[in-house]
Chain A
């Protein structure tokens, strides 16, 4: 394995670098012609509302601020700067540089959202076209970019379900959303936020939805079903048409969580599977960078019968002119300020153009090829297995289990993931889905070359060998990252929890 070593600058907190009087920004001066007639600014603020002491922000020169944050950047790991980022369910594909370039055009970045429609025709056209392409890919009829992220899209989806049943007068009885136990945590959280009761159903041994379990819970109290397909195990729900039919027959609606859409672009479409609502994570499938946790970007597509409920405004086109229509009396209102996370939407637009329809389809095919390649090789490594229908092809991701390794050597999925960090490889998603013991959820994406996949496989092989020979070397990991294992119990313990510099100063004072 290569000798990876992450930077460790032992970087102080920015507050500790402060020196009175320094500043990193040249504030424009007030022109005399502006200052003289107005006089002291303090005279224009109510006396009781003037801030007596300045906020205790740090005082640094420009280069000090720059270096501090560049040091911190070197103590972080990105898909473009790292080696391989097989974080399952997160679709960490290459974030193309051209996308950043076009999203930095001043005539995009400096547009105010309340500008007159006639002055923002370019950006409205981009959104309108991208919407059209996403509808083609999902097989839906209409949609909205308003939600800020996937979970926000789920919330919108649930509000649409709510609005629909209100409209037809069934909201009182239709109070339940059915969600399989292998679903992302955001699914039940979003349904609950929208006021629904969550009914969880167990998955079958092969990880697929249990039709009998579904049948036993659907009824006239069912508002809907939320599902990913392929599911979180990376397995395609072959009975999907039957599943959506069962829910529809009971009068419920069907929601497609598009977190796993990267497996099926151009191959099959949620709209054809019988889904009424779909969300896509543009920061996963459409290559927009995740920024260390956000911003995400989301598109929610619906079948035409739900179109009237979509949040306002709706972008419309007439004779080549684009406008924002707020006149939608049945709309659920707004779920976010303005129109969505435009900058990532633009990047998704550039990504779609870079690949085209044929390239998008090929990207899914290669993502699936890569994940099957990795799964097939990994399941033969000592201590690892591919539970839940090992012979079925995976889609974009695969969930391995390290249960055997844990039983035989004490090395757990967590330890494997930490040891991978020592090889300069980002860890997979661990302990999810909950139905697989010691789960390692691996999604290589189409961005990785065969050589990188081999390096990943070799890293697992090396870790397995170590686990069975010198397990301490795995249990001790990581050693090559900026810091070793952290005390996460201390981090959340009421007595030691420290959530800000101010909080730290208070705690320090109490201790002395």
Chain B
């Protein structure tokens, strides 16, 4: 066994002794002499190790093997989506200068991360059709919470109206963010045939207390909310803000929310070059109109382009820090400090690689394959996809008759396929329904395998 640990250069006994000599102490305990005796931990820490690097690798590898293999990517989306991550993205985010740096508090030595963050903001702005973006929030759901609070500060009103068919998880996080600020969350009903927001119901609910109206596009259940101009108008007529949540991949082919009068655009940046990682870290997108009143209320870090003091060169630094907790303390626009900078960097590299044409092509593949999958599902008996008569992007509901959706799910698992997310717990009124997602990672053969497997399962049941 080593005398010193590889992570602890000064654990060499002679060095430790030399340093203690310099400090005039006999033992390390002298440095803890101000810790009251009764607080000194005298038990043994029941934590295994130290292990060698090889042992650590084996332990974690063996544990990772307890996670199942599937014959193809899971047909799951709903907030995290299986997309291919280009190798260049992983290469860039593993550069030690990026990966192991702290928040760029010293801009002169951190221009690389600052410029990359500025580029991330810029790329997001192009994508969503806004001029201002923050450097990142934790995820879509917390971005929604922050957006509601920002709308509340801007309008001094305390109701946010959200769709009934919102992601249950985002709704839960929104409530956790809204409640302490005295914001009430009200849900607008949906058209039972199309799933779209029921405009009459929205009109009834919007009033002088409405801080904002929020929609998701594509919606949680995959359909495209197409009456966006009307919803924007209803919100704005009542002087409420219009907030739109997006899957950014869809904006290669769907109209940018900035082009249908959104005031704040939020979303989940994970599909932009970030692995799923069991749901974290994610990347909260937050962009808004170029309005000084709004900009001063943005939560989180923002990077701006400036120049050197002598004016000779462009440069980048954090801006409007007076909004933030380290200066404004309890009056800050948010408590966020650490954000998701590295995930934003991945997003910037991803969007730079794809470019406008790559993103449009990716959208074509995704939409085409998803529609192929729906078409194939509908060839089966007692199954229907989607439930709603409306346009869909790459996620869709699949409804079963005469069989429980859990049974279908379990049978698929036995065949090495992970089907969609079961919606029964969150939306019992929809029946035996699951939410399926198809991306470019699902090839024709994968979709065909899903269909033939479903066919077998349904035939056995008959």
Contact = CB atoms under 8 A, between A and B. Distances in A.
Nearest to A29: B365
Contacts of B182: 195
A38 B375 contact: yes
Interface in A479-505: 481-488, 490-492, 494, 496-504
Interface stretch (A88-96, A211-219, A399-407): A88-96
Given A23-B355, A95-B99, A290-B101, A369 B418 contact: no
A267 interface: yes
A65 B360 CA distance: 19
Contact of B338 (A75, A93, A150, A333): A150
Contacts of A60: 352-353, 355
B107 A357 contact: no
19 contacts: A35-B368, A56-B126, A69-B352, A100-B99, A122-B66, A155-B335, A190-B335, A195-B179, A289-B100, A293-B103, A293-B341, A294-B338, A295-B340, A355-B5, A357-B46, A372-B31, A447-B8, A492-B322, A503-B125
A300 interface: no
B342 interface: yes
Interface residues of B, number: 212
A41 B97 contact: no
Contacts of A449: 9-10
Contacts of B457: none
Contacts of B11: 362, 366
B359 interface: yes
Given A48-B255, A72-B112, A185 B135 contact: no
Given A77-B101, A369-B20, 13 more contacts: A54-B360, A72-B111, A72-B113, A76-B98, A119-B68, A152-B142, A162-B180, A198-B330, A335-B142, A338-B278, A369-B16, A491-B306, A503-B132
Contact of B175 (A29, A333, A447): A333
B40 A292 contact: no
A289 B103 CA distance: 11
B363 interface: yes
Given A51-B251, A55-B127, A77-B110, A294 B309 contact: no
B15 interface: yes
Interface in A338-356: 338-346, 349-350, 352-356
Contacts of A500: 118, 121-122, 125, 131-133
The interface size bin for chain A is 35 or more
A368 interface: yes
A412 interface: no
Contacts of B413: 116, 118-119
Interface in B315-361: 315-322, 324-332, 334-343, 345, 348-349, 351-361
B380 interface: no
A258 to B, nearest CB: 14
Interface string A135-148: 01101000000001
A86 to B, nearest CB: 11
B28 A450 contact: no
Interface in A362-399: 362-363, 365-366, 368-370, 372-373, 376, 392-395
A389 B254 CA distance: 62
